[in-house]
Structure 1
Amino acid sequence: MTVLLVALGAALGAPLRYLTDRAVQARHGSAFPWGTFTVNVTGSALLGFLAALPAGGGAMAFAGTGLCGALTTYSTFGYETLRLAEDGARLHAVLNAAASIGAGLGAAYCGMALAGALPA
């Protein structure tokens, strides 16, 4: 049953990642990968929120592992960062790495804080 919940969450998260990435990136003309940055920070906030809730294993399998796992993308982040560096946009590459890690951790913390502020 858990595998099915993860697969269902991923079936929702993967297209959501693609559509969000394309929509965000289409609005920016810069080399900076704003679409990937957006889905990774959003997914980090959602996962932080979910991790702080007293949710059962099924909810975390669906939303945490499945949805957030497919929504966020470390491989694309790594690829885009290396591509920026190889294309001579080293400053963008460093900013992408630093901002993605910092914003992802900050978003996860804010998600956890938000969940902790909810009435029990």
Structure 2
Amino acid sequence: MIAVVRLVLIGVAGAAGALCRLGIANLVAARTLPVATLVVNVGGAFALGLVLAWVSPRLGPATASVVSVGFLGAFTTFSTFAMETVALHQSGRAGAAAGYVAVSIGLGLAAAVAGQHLGRSLLP
């Protein structure tokens, strides 16, 4: 893939990823815990595992970078996760903040492994 075309595709995929994240944030009702961020980050971890295990070997690293760097990079959000955790802690909910961190990391890692496993199982 030509470098300029790849950069444009990464940008377009990034815009799509950001819009999908916004859509999920709007669909998931506001709760006492930041569920929307958890959903996008865990879903993104699963998708990245799948992309790296299945898309990259089949379609090549250039296509995989459009999906992983572009779409998933904009879809997932570490900065929002960090600030939501800080906000929970500062509002006197240190236990909820710690639980949110533990659940996010635990589910994120499990999702990445599951995505990778699924991707590998789809290979011939």
Give 1:42's aligned residue.
43
Q: Is the 8 A contact 1:39 1:72 kept in 2?
A: yes
Q: CA deviation at 1:10?
A: 0.3
**Unpaired segments ≥5 residues, structure 1:** none
Counterparts of residues 28-107 of structure 1 (less than 5 Å): 30-53=31-54, 54=57, 55-107=59-111
Aligned equivalents of 1:88 and 1:31: distance in 2?
13
Q: Match for 1:52: what amino acid?
A: A
TM-score in terms of structure 1 length: 0.92
Q: Is the 8 A contact 1:41 1:104 kept in 2?
A: yes
TM-score in terms of structure 2 length: 0.89
Q: Is the 8 A contact 1:5 1:61 kept in 2?
A: no
Aligned equivalents of 1:96 and 1:115: distance in 2?
28
**Unpaired segments ≥5 residues, structure 2:** none
**Count of residue pairs brought into register by the alignment:** 117
Question: 18, 24, 30: which is aligned to 2:22?
Answer: 18
SS of corresponding position for 2:32? coil
Question: 8, 12, 26: which is aligned to 2:12?
Answer: 8
SS of corresponding position for 1:88? coil
What fraction of aligned residue pairs are identical, expressed as a percent?
A: 36
Q: RMSD of the TM alignment (CA)?
A: 1.1
1:118 maps to 2:118: no
Q: CA deviation at 1:58?
A: 2.7
Structure 1 outlier segments of 4+, above 3 Å: none
Aligned equivalents of 1:74 and 1:46: distance in 2?
16
